[in-house]
């Protein structure tokens, strides 16, 4: 049901050094993201995992959830719908940061499809919310404008044959972010549609690990 949140602490020998918040796609459930969360934790054993449910029941499947309405969704109203829920997203993330004693720099939003859009727009519109985003098969509701400042690393993973959210959106986002000097990676996965596979999940977690390592190395210079 909407509002349900699953929480998993780091492995017993670790204290929480990172906070990963997983945002599922439209018409799915928080449970669908738990296997993905555990695969990330295998690479980051000191990460606390938070897997919330979308804020509303799906309009297609009443047993599933969504973050914002997909009925009549188009390029003219997408940004407005996402912006309307961002205060709730921020409150959720801030609460979990406090509970886990993890700062924004070590907070990561990981989303698939609609959840990825929420993650991307959250760090675009709420600077200081999270240090990184891993967005699968997702797009910005509206691309960042010239002069925008994003303080997060962005990792985009997209299926080559995604017929729901075209890879073009990820390619455009990568170009715009690079022009804004935002650290960004883009991986187009061959022969993949609008789905999460083991390979795609591992690729996203690898890019996140590489981004964290690069950030640490930069502070040493």
**Mind telling me the catalytic residues?**
113, 162, 194
Cβ 135 vs Cβ 185: under 8 Å: no
**DSSP-derived secondary structure letter, 152:** S
CA dihedral 86, 195, 208, 97 (to 10 degrees): 30
Query: 32: which 2 tokens?
Result: 């669908």
Question: How far, in Å, CA of 24 to CA of 91, rounded?
Answer: 18
Question: How far, in Å, CA of 134 to CA of 121, rounded?
Answer: 12
| Helix runs in the chain, H state only | 34-43, 78-100, 114-125, 167-179, 198-219
Give strand pairing partners of 139. Answer: none
Residue corresponding to tokens 């999940």: 201
Task: Report the 10 Å Cβ neighbour count for 170.
Answer: 25
Question: How far, in Å, CA of 83 to CA of 128, rounded?
Answer: 16
Question: How far, in Å, CA of 197 to CA of 35, rounded?
Answer: 11
Give strand pairing partners of 159. Answer: 189
């Amino acid at each position: 049901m909407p509002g349900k949140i699953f929480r998993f602490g780091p492995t017993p020998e670790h204290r929480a050094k990172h906070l990963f918040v997983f945002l599922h796609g439209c018409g799915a459930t928080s449970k669908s993201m738990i296997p993905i969360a555990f695969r990330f934790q295998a690479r980051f054993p000191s990460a606390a995992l938070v897997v919330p449910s979308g804020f509303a029941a799906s309009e297609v499947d009443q047993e599933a959830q969504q973050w914002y309405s997909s009925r009549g969704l188009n390029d003219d109203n997408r940004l407005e719908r996402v912006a309307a829920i961002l205060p709730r997203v921020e409150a959720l993330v801030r609460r979990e940061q406090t509970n886990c004693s993890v700062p924004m720099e070590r907070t990561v939003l990981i989303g698939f499809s609609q959840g990825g859009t929420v993650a991307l727009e959250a760090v675009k519109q709420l600077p200081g919310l999270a240090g990184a985003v891993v967005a699968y098969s997702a797009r910005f509701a509206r691309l960042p404008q010239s002069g925008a400042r994003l303080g997060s690393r962005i990792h985009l993973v997209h299926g080559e044959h995604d017929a729901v959210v075209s890879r073009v959106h990820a390619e455009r986002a990568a170009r715009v972010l690079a022009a804004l000097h935002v650290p960004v990676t883009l991986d187009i996965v061959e022969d993949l549609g609008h789905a999460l596979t083991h390979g795609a999940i591992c690729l996203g977690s690898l890019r996140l690990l590489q981004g964290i390592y690069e950030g640490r190395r930069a502070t040493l210079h």
